[in-house]
Amino acid sequence: MNYKQLGNTQVKISEIGQGTWQYRGGVEPLKVGISLGATHIDTAEMYGTEETVGEAIAKERGKVFLATKVSPSHIHHDDLIKAAEGSLRRLDTDTLDLYMIHWPNPRIPIKESMSAMEELVKRGKIKHIGVSNFSVNELKEAQNALKSEKIVSNQVEYNLQNREIEEELVPYCKKEKITVVAYSPLARGNLPDNEQVRVLDRIAEKNGKTTAQVILNFLTREENVVAIPKANRTEHTQENCGASGWRLSNEDLREIDESF
């Protein structure tokens, strides 16, 4: 497993993490993933999977980079503090490695939310502040609302069917040292059955990898991008971990780039 720098920090996080939206796999797949180095675990108060994650990481908390999110309806100051305490309790831990605003909420001033985030950092309840589904402008506003902390990451949709973030967001985040966390990297398991996929199959065969591994490797080709596939099945978790630790050639990258 390859590890990448989180934002502007000295912390390293696994290039392939483990998502838990609609996760019903129990503790086993998550534990196997951790043992294979996929120590970045992603959840959210909204997912209803925090308890399972807490159980899966209980004996390995020190190894894990634990990330969760506050729902956009809970980002008034006091609600956000309360939401963080709820997540800490369900995850059965003293501190979160990354706490994110799940979606922007234009009805609540970002300054108010970010002041609560900074309080949580000061109290040791969270280590780093992140956001999710924020545009470049929303990111700038969030950063400007912070007094002493920096936004370390933005979690956004990124897969071969939706490469929109490559235009503006990824270059901006690279410049500002913000990690991009790619969600739904396997397009929720819906790979189209067409000529494009056959390109991937061919590249996979040539490299002795699977199609899913080629996709994840392609998506994480930039130094500031990591991915968090979800897998209910342990075989999928194992396969996804094997997407890291090697790199597609420039020729393969170009071919995928041109096909999608």
Ligand X SMILES: NC(=O)c1ccc[n+]([C@@H]2O[C@H](COP(=O)([O-])OP(=O)(O)OC[C@H]3O[C@@H](n4cnc5c(N)ncnc54)[C@H](OP(=O)(O)O)[C@@H]3O)[C@@H](O)[C@H]2O)c1
Q: Which residues bind ligand X (CB under 6 A)?
A: 19-21, 42, 102, 132-133, 155, 183-189, 212, 228-233, 236, 239-240
Alpha carbons 57 and 91: distance in angstroms, whole number: 9
Shortest-Cβ-distance residue relative to ligand X: 19
The smaller minimum CB distance to ligand X, of residues 19 and 104, is found at: 19
Name the residue nearer to ligand X (CB basis): 123 or 204. Answer: 204
**Amino acid letter, 224:** N
In the complex, minimum distance from the CB of residue 151 to ligand X, in angstroms, rounded to a whole number: 15
187 Cβ contact list (under 8 Å, min separation 6): 159, 160, 161, 162
Nearest approach in angstroms of CB 29 to ligand X is: 8
Residue whose CB is less far from ligand X, 102 or 128: 102
| Residue 227 DSSP class | E
Place of tokens 């609540």: 108
Catalytic residue among 23, 47, 158, 183: 47
Q: What single letter denotes the amino acid at residue 188?
A: R
Residue 47 designated active-site: yes
User: How long a stretch of residues is the chain?
Assistant: 260
Dist CA 229 CA 236 (whole Å): 9
Nearest approach, Cβ of residue 212 and ligand X (Å): 3
Q: To the nearest whole angstrom, how small is the minimum distance from the Cβ of residue 200 to ligand X?
A: 12
Residue placing its CB nearer to ligand X in the complex, 221 or 254:
221
Give 78's contacts (C-beta < 8 A, 6+ positions apart). 116
Active site residues: 47
